[in-house]
């Protein structure tokens, strides 16, 4: 329903109330609020809405706790991953050192072998 501008006259001065000025007024109450039969019915609806809000807040609290637990799990997993990477690098360095020392003892190049041992330092995974 389109509203027509309402002219308000003040002598030579007139103001036209258009849609932008009308938006400053609060909207009329919804029709279902006007159909309440009693104060008791309003109290019951308010109690139901309050219970629903409380349940939503509780659900939000549980979700926040779950998200915190997941974040902590991710932090712990990342620390464990980093520790394992460090251990892998140490093991690969030791293996490379062992290969280098055994090849220097035999007088041949470690790269001269037909195929490097699986898991050796020559196959560093990223």
Where residue 126 falls among pLDDT bands split at 50, 70, 90?
very low
Task: Report residue 79 as tokens.
Answer: 């620390």
Residue 41 scores a pLDDT above 80: yes
Do 92 and 124 touch, CB atoms closer than 8 A? yes
Per-residue pLDDT tens digits for 102-111? 887 766 655 5
Rounded CA gap, 58 and 52, in Å?
10
Please report which helix (H) or strand (E) contains residue 87, including its range.
helix 39-106
Rg (CA), the chain: 39
């Amino acid at each position: 329903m389109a509203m027509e501008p309402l002219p308000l006259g003040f002598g030579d001065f007139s103001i036209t109330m258009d849609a932008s000025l009308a938006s400053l007024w609060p909207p009329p109450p919804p029709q279902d609020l006007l159909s309440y039969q009693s104060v008791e019915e309003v109290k019951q609806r308010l109690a139901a809405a309050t219970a629903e809000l409380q349940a939503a807040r509780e659900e939000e609290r549980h979700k926040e706790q779950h998200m915190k637990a997941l974040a902590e799990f991710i932090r712990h997993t990342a620390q464990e991953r980093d520790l394992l990477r460090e251990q892998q690098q140490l093991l690969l360095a030791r293996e490379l050192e062992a290969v280098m020392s055994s090849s220097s003892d035999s007088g041949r190049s470690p790269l001269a072998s037909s195929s490097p041992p699986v898991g050796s330092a020559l196959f560093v995974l990223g």
